[in-house]
Structures are given as C-alpha cells and as structure tokens.
C-alpha cells in the first residue's frame, strides 16, 4: 500500500467525521421527543459509518468517529463560550 | 489490501467536487428555518455520501478520501469566510452566530428586496422606520 494512499484515506475519513461532528453539534434536542432525535442521529451516523466501512475498512471508522467527536465537542464548547459572553455583555 | 490508484487530475476533481458539496451543505444548514428533522438528516446523508458518491468513487480508491478532504475544505471554508466577514463588519458581532442579531441599518440605507419588483426598503430619515419604495 502506498503511503499517499494511506494518508488520503485517513484524512478523507477524518474530514468527513469533522463535518458530521460539526453538524451534530448544531442539533438542538427537541424536548418533546428527545428519543426520536437521538435515534435519528444514531441512524444517520450508522449509515455514514456503513458507507465508510464499505469504501475503506474498519480502521478508517476509528478516524471518522474520533474526528466527529472532536468536532462535536469543539462546536458545542464554542457555542457555550459565545452564550456565556453574551450573558455577561448583555445581562 | 486490493487498492486502485487514481491520477492526480482525478484526485483534484474529486476534491473540488467535495468542496462544492461541503460549501453547499453549510449554506443549507445556515438557512435552516426550523429544528433539524429526520428528513433533513436523510438529505445530508444523501449529500455527503449518497448513491451518487458511491457510484462515482469506487471502493478502496483514493477518490473518496479526496472527496472527504474537499468536503471539509468547502464546509469549513464557508465558516471561516463568515467569521472573517463578521469580524470585519461594523454591523455584526459574535452574537450573530447564536441568534442572528445585528445592528439596525442606519438612515439613508437601502435594502433591496429579492422579489424582482424593483422595490427597496429604505430607512425613513424622519421616523427612522423602514418604508418600502
């Protein structure tokens, strides 16, 4: 296996994870039906996971999940920081 | 592992295709009017990795990887451009990312409407309210 092939595959899986995690960070759970929201997210994530598994292999899935978790965390933290600064500047 | 090699042009093409899709995904997500629903997720799945993508990029090839890199470049590129524009603008600040708040346009400011009628919203100098002309 060529080195460039490995790098492009890993970066590609991770980049899709970054985008997916960032999108999930914007999800606001519907208080009336949180289970539906959670199930929808799990369903959608499993479809993308299956696709990565189909095109690459299970090792790329780890990069996808890791990147998605990282992007989700960064996005949620950014929103929290913005909310806190807004509360301070606009009481 | 059985792998397929792709030419540089193919890789660049797949990356550029992903960049356009990523840019558009952020655009759609930004202008969302309501909470995310299952149908929205299905649309995003179809955009990020639908049947067309699977058909275009064969398994075990670099093309899907290049597509993923381009997707992130387009998606976060849109976000970075937004951050730069908000930072440069006098009318917006970081709160815009939370709830879309912005300063009211000043007097003598014209906001063109997008209904092809030639109308424009103009700040009334006397009352300070918006009029349609």
Q: Which domain holds residue A33?
A: 3-86
**What is each CA distance from B111 to A65, B90, B133, in whole angstroms?**
44, 16, 10
DSSP type of residue B122:
E
Its ipTM equals 0.83
- Domain positions in chain B: 8-99, 104-133
Is A91 a domain residue? no
Of B35, B73, B76, the CB nearest to A30: B35
Quote the pTM value.
0.79
Residue A44: list chain B partners with CB under 8 A. 41-42, 44-45
DSSP SS3 for B110: strand
| Cα gap B107→B121, rounded to integer Å | 11
Instruction: Give B26 or B116, the one with higher predicted confidence.
Output: B26
Contacts of B42 in chain A (CB under 8 A): 44
Residue A44 placed within a domain: yes
SS3 letters across A34-54: HHHHHHHHHHHHHHHHHHHHH
The answer to whether position A31 is within a domain reads yes
| B75 in reach of chain A (CB within 8 A) | yes
Torsion sign across C-alpha atoms B33, B35, B38, B44 = positive
Residues in A closer than 8 angstroms to B45, CB to CB, are: 44, 47-48
Per the structure block, which two tokens stand in for B5? 């090699």
- Alpha-carbon distances, residue B11 vs A8, A49, A61, B8, B89 (angstroms): 10, 22, 21, 5, 37
CB–CB contact B95 A36 (8 Å): no
pLDDT score, position B30: 78
Rounded Cα distance between B74 and B72, Å, is 5
Residues in chain B, how many?
Answer: 133
Tens of pLDDT, residue by residue, chain A (91 residues): 555 567 888 898 899 999 999 988 877 655 566 777 778 788 888 888 888 888 878 888 999 999 999 999 999 999 888 888 865 555 4
Q: Encode pLDDT of B7-37 as tens digits.
A: 888 889 989 999 998 998 888 877 766 655 6
Q: How many independent structural domains does chain A possess?
A: 1
Band of residue B38 on the pLDDT scale cut at 50, 70, 90? low
DSSP summary character for residue B117: S
Q: Which of A2, A19, A27 sits opposite B22 (nearest CB)?
A: A19
């Amino acid at each position: 296996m060529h080195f460039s092939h490995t790098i492009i595959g890993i970066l590609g899986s991770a980049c899709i994870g970054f985008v997916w995690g960032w999108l999930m960070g914007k999800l606001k759970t519907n208080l009336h039906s949180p289970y539906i929201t959670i199930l929808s997210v799990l369903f959608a994530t499993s479809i993308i996971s299956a696709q990565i598994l189909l095109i690459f292999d299970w090792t790329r899935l780890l990069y996808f999940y890791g990147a998605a978790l990282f992007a989700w965390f960064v996005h949620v933290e950014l929103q929290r920081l913005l909310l806190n600064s807004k509360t301070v500047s606009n009481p | 592992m059985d792998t397929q090699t792709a030419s540089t042009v193919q890789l660049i093409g797949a990356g550029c295709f992903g960049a356009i899709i990523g840019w558009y995904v952020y655009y759609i997500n930004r202008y969302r009017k309501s909470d995310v629903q299952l149908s929205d997720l299905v649309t995003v799945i179809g955009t990020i990795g639908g049947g067309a993508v699977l058909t275009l990029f064969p398994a075990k090839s670099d093309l899907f990887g290049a597509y993923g890199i381009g997707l992130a470049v387009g998606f976060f590129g849109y976000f970075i451009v937004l951050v730069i524009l908000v930072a440069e603008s006098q009318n917006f600040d970081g709160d815009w990312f939370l709830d879309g708040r912005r300063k009211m346009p000043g007097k003598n400011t014209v906001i063109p409407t997008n209904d092809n009628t030639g109308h424009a919203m103009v700040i009334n100098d006397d009352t300070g309210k918006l009029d349609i002309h």
